Structures are given as structure tokens and as C-alpha cells.
Amino acid sequence: MSESPFPRDPEAPDPAPGPDPTEPPRPPAYTPGSVQPRLNRPLHERYPQIRPTSGYGDPRIRHTGPGPGAGAEQEPERSAKLTARLVLALSVVVGQLWGLTIVVNEWMSGDTGTAWWGAGFLVLSFLVVLGLWLLDPKDR
């Protein structure tokens, strides 16, 4: 039997008169859905470098994820303090937005006395937020 296990590709150019016996044979190009069965080889034959242990089953991987204790709060008191200060600051900001709406409405209607009192409220609330920020400099 003189035929090789893979039939010759009709579109391939004619081979050289004598192949070099020291050179390993080159695999044919893969064409998905080819009519030639030699080109529809199984995955492990087409890509021998992909092994069943590639990925999650790789024995070199010992630990996955960030490790024990990750995501747990390390300083709960500090977290509670920062959350309380954040809630206070956000409530002051909401109050400032509300106050700004009232001040602009009063100013536009011509009641400048109430607008100046509202402007004073806005300045006072800004000073409260500034005081909260200055309260603990190590948390910045």
C-alpha cells in the first residue's frame, strides 16, 4: 500500500521531488466542515498543546481567590464611624439643595430678606460639613 494515511489535497501545489527525511511531516491546514475527513480531526489531534488539565484542573494552581478573610471588615468601629459621618454629610447636602431651591424662589419673587436668611442657612450647613471633614484627619 503506497498511499499515506492522509490523501493528497488536490489544491495543494505539487510536492518537491524528494522530501527531506530529517524534516518532520507538517500537518495539513484545518478547514472546518471540510469534505476531507483528514481535516476534520478531533480537537486533541488538531491542538495537542491543549491538555485535559489546562485551566481549572491544572495541578500547579493551589489557591484560587483572594484568600481567607477577604471581604471581612477589619475595623468595624471605623467603618461605622465613617458611615455615620457620610449619612450626616449627605443629609446636609440634601438640605442645602432644598434650601437653595427656597432661596432662589424667594429671591425671584422679590422677598430679599428671606433670601438672605436662606443664604445664611446654606453657609451654616456648609460649615457643618466642613467641621465633619475636619473632625478626624487620619480618616482622609
Residue 15 pLDDT grade (very low, low, confident, very high; cuts 50, 70, 90): low
Q: Report d(CA 115, CA 101) in Å as an integer.
A: 10
Residue 61 carries which side chain, given as an amino acid letter?
A: I
For the cut 60, the answer to whether the pLDDT of residue 14 exceeds it is yes
Largest Cα–Cα separation, the chain: 110
Secondary structure of residue 88 in the 3-state scheme: helix
Question: pLDDT, tens digit, for every residue of 67-92?
Answer: 666 666 677 788 888 888 888 888 88
pTM of the predicted model, to two decimals? 0.43
Handedness of CA 28, 31, 34, 40 (dihedral sign): positive
In terms of phi and psi (left: phi > 0; alpha: psi -120 to 50; beta: otherwise), the region of 55 is left
